[in-house]
Amino acid sequence: MKIYSYIILMAVTTYLIRMLPLTLFQKPIKSRFINSFLYYVPYTCLTVMTIPAIFYSTGSPISAVIGFFVAVALGLRGKSLPVVAAAACAAVFIAERLI
Amino acid sequence: MDRKDFINGAKDSIAIVVGYFSVSFTFGIAAARAGISPLTATLMSLANVTSAGQFAGLNLIVAQSSYIEMILTQLVINLRYALMSLSLSQRLDSGATTPKRMLIAFANTDEIFAVSSVRPERVSPSYMAGLEIFPVISWASGTLFGAIANGLLPVSVSSALGIALYGMFVAIVMPVARVRRNVTFAVIIGAALSAAFYYLPVLNSVSAGFRIIICTIAASALAAWLFPVPDPNRGDQE
């Protein structure tokens, strides 16, 4: 079955991408620049994945922008992840009923 | 296996478990519409544990693309995981042997990485096990339910659920960006670059996978150059 060949190729490629850096770079990195770089990666990477994709993640950009601002407002207040995620969904749901 | 660490990891994964179920549910629906059986779709989720890669893979399967094209697509879309694994590699504690690292790598997704990276101290393999196992189960079972329920979920609900994972990302970044000016800077640069690559002509011909990699590297490198961090592996320094 061809589909299983596709799935195996996908899985192996994705796994190697994740596994090699975790096993090959086990020793602490000394370079201050690289350490600083890696410190910023989570924040920049999450931001890049969110902007602008979040604006197209729902039925309409308008509801998505409302959901985005709700998430930012609650995130700035330090609300927990499930609360922020649920509030953003609720805001989108309500906004789409009103539009 | 440290039980306390495992439970802490499991607790931290609750939002991911919920988010994954809704996203993989939509993946299951998409797979069913593409004519893939529920069990095969579930196998796909269990073997890959990656949203963007799987959605792209699904398109290639439908189009009967070449194997090379499949490998290259996965490589480009998922190359960001190499950056995340490199970052995570520096934050695992001394209990992380090579075999354990090979297991942890399997489910180092955007969200798992995000949650593990905001832990103040180094993370143990037990914590990672607790953090990873339930989202993987959720990811696979959501796919199964979605493929079976294909079309049962009202559009209004699936539309609202679409924003869930992004809401989580925002919740991870915002509290830190608010109190640390260097992170604020990095985040604004990242957002500006990403928007530029998305909207501006020429730049927007770059694929989504490369856009994420290029913008992440550029924003992080600029921030690291302008605002070096004393010792990032000590965790959050105030």
**What are the domain boundaries of chain B?**
3-165, 180-238
Instruction: Give the domain ranges of chain A.
Output: 2-98
> Do the chains contact at B183 and A43, CB–CB below 8 Å?
yes
Distance CA B164, CA A89 (A): 6
Say what the ipTM of the complex is.
0.87
Sort out which chain B residues have CB atoms less than 8 A from A33's CB and list them: 224-225, 228
CA distance B173 to B189: 14
Taking a C-beta distance cutoff of 8 angstroms, is the pair A33, B230 a contact? no
CA torsion sign for B194, B197, B199, B200 is positive
Would the CB atoms of B48 and A7 count as touching at under 8 Å?
yes
Nearest to A73 by CA among B173, B190, B174: B174
Q: What is the pLDDT along chain B (238 residues), one digit of tens a residue?
A: 889 999 999 999 998 898 888 788 878 887 887 889 999 999 999 999 997 788 878 888 888 888 988 898 888 778 889 989 999 999 999 899 999 999 999 999 988 998 998 888 899 999 999 999 999 999 999 999 989 987 677 878 877 877 877 887 898 899 999 999 999 999 999 999 999 999 999 999 887 767 877 898 899 999 999 999 876 554 444 3
Tell me how many degrees the CA angle A82-B24-B204 measures, rounded to the nearest 5.
90
Question: Any chain B CB within 8 A of the CB of A40?
Answer: yes
Q: pTM surpassing 0.90?
A: no
Closest of B17, B48, B60, B20 to residue B146, by C-alpha: B20
Question: B201: exposed, middle or buried (C-beta count within 10 Å: 0-12, 13-18, 19+)?
Answer: exposed
